[in-house]
């Protein structure tokens, strides 16, 4: 794929021959055949460890607890990549550059931005320091920061408590105390003090009825539970539980929402930018 892309750019240079398009193609070819570009490509390949998390969060059937475990394990793998992955990555990049006749800079020399007449020194740091800390570590830290921001301790607790409403496996995770804590801590303004007391009674009755109900096995998610409450009009009887279920389904990080993770890489005359974003 890399060789084909370089060949395509070269073909554009030959075909156009002159003018602005040739200049743009020349610049693109220079960027694509630079050590820095190859390094970024390999970093993106290593970041494939986030792919399973991204795919899982896009599945509507994904339950909350499994999503939490995936987030936690992905953060562990990313941190391990940061701590132990640099040497292996560098060897892969050097081998790739050797196979494709790409110039490899001396790692002990000072890093220089750009190529040709656009070359500029950067703060007197070595190539090794720049590539490892300003590119590799910075990209990983960006991902870890984003995951910590999206799934901080408070959000993890909210998701954990919400999982008590998950009807999978006949409400295996159903815990009255956790559901009551969910209401008290995260939805205090949505229930009066009297309603909070009534909620406990509703939860006890609701759980007993659910254990005897023949339609339980077809409920696979909190959204299924919400739909079932509406279709059977049980939501009118268990109106406090129905209200809570609807509140949980409005979570900005609800597993029902679709997510996509992607990298954007841009090379310009000033610096290399590697950005990672998770779209909710």
Spatial separation of the C-alpha atoms in residues 33 and 193, rounded to whole Å: 66
What is the phi/psi pair of residue 58, to 5°?
Answer: -90, -10
Cβ atoms 52, 25 nearer than 8 A: no
Structure confidence at residue 198 (pLDDT): 95
**Pair of tokens at residue 220:** 């696979």
Structure confidence at residue 118 (pLDDT): 45
C-alpha 58: how far from chain center: 11
Structure confidence at residue 262 (pLDDT): 33
pLDDT of 38-69, one tens digit each? 999 999 888 888 887 777 776 655 566 677 77
β-partners of residue 262 are 277
Nearest to 183 by CA among 175, 60, 66: 175
| Antiparallel, parallel or unpaired: β 272-279 and 120-126 | unpaired
Stretch among 71-85, 109-123, 159-173, 212-226 having the lowest mean pLDDT? 109-123
pLDDT of 117-157, one tens digit each? 445 555 678 999 999 999 999 999 999 998 888 888 888 88
**Pair of tokens at residue 136:** 């590799």
Global confidence as pTM: 0.65
Tell whether the torsion through CA atoms of 64, 151, 143 and 88 is positive or negative.
Answer: negative
pLDDT of residue 260 exceeding 90, the answer is no
Cβ atoms 106, 127 nearer than 8 A: yes
Locus of tokens 């494709």: 100
β-partners of residue 274 are 265
Spatial separation of the C-alpha atoms in residues 70 and 72, rounded to whole Å: 5
Highest mean pLDDT among 21-25, 72-76, 219-223 belongs to 72-76
Structure confidence at residue 24 (pLDDT): 66
Domain ranges of the chain: 33-151+258-279, 155-248
Higher local confidence (pLDDT), 258 or 225? 225
3-state secondary structure of 191: coil
C-alpha 1: how far from chain center: 26
In the predicted model, what is the mean pLDDT of the chain?
A: 78
């Amino acid at each position: 794929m890399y060789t084909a892309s370089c060949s395509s750019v070269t073909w554009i240079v030959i075909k156009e021959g002159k003018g602005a398009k040739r200049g743009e193609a020349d610049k693109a070819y220079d960027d694509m055949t630079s050590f820095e570009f190859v390094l970024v490509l390999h970093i993106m390949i290593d970041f494939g460890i986030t792919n399973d998390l991204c795919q899982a969060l896009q599945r509507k059937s994904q339950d909350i607890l499994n999503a939490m475990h995936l987030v936690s394990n992905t953060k562990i793998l990313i941190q391990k990549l940061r701590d132990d992955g640099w040497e292996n990555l560098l060897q892969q990049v050097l081998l790739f550059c050797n196979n494709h006749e790409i110039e490899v800079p001396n790692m002990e020399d000072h890093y220089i931005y750009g190529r040709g007449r656009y070359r500029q020194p950067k703060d007197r740091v070595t190539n090794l320091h720049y590539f490892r800390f300003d590119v590799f570590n910075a990209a990983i830290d960006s991902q870890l920061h984003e995951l910590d921001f999206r799934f901080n301790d408070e959000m993890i607790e909210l998701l954990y408590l919400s999982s008590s409403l998950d009807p999978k496996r006949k409400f295996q995770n159903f815990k009255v105390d956790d559901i009551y804590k969910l209401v008290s801590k995260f939805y205090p303004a949505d229930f009066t003090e009297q309603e909070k007391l009534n909620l406990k009674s509703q939860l006890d009755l609701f759980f007993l009825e659910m254990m005897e109900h023949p339609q339980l096995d077809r409920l696979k998610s909190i959204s299924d539970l919400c739909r079932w409450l509406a279709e059977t009009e049980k939501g009118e009887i268990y109106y406090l539980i129905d209200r809570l279920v609807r509140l949980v389904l409005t979570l900005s990080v609800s597993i029902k929402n679709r997510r996509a993770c992607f990298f954007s890489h841009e090379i310009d005359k000033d610096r290399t930018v590697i950005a990672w974003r998770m779209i909710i």
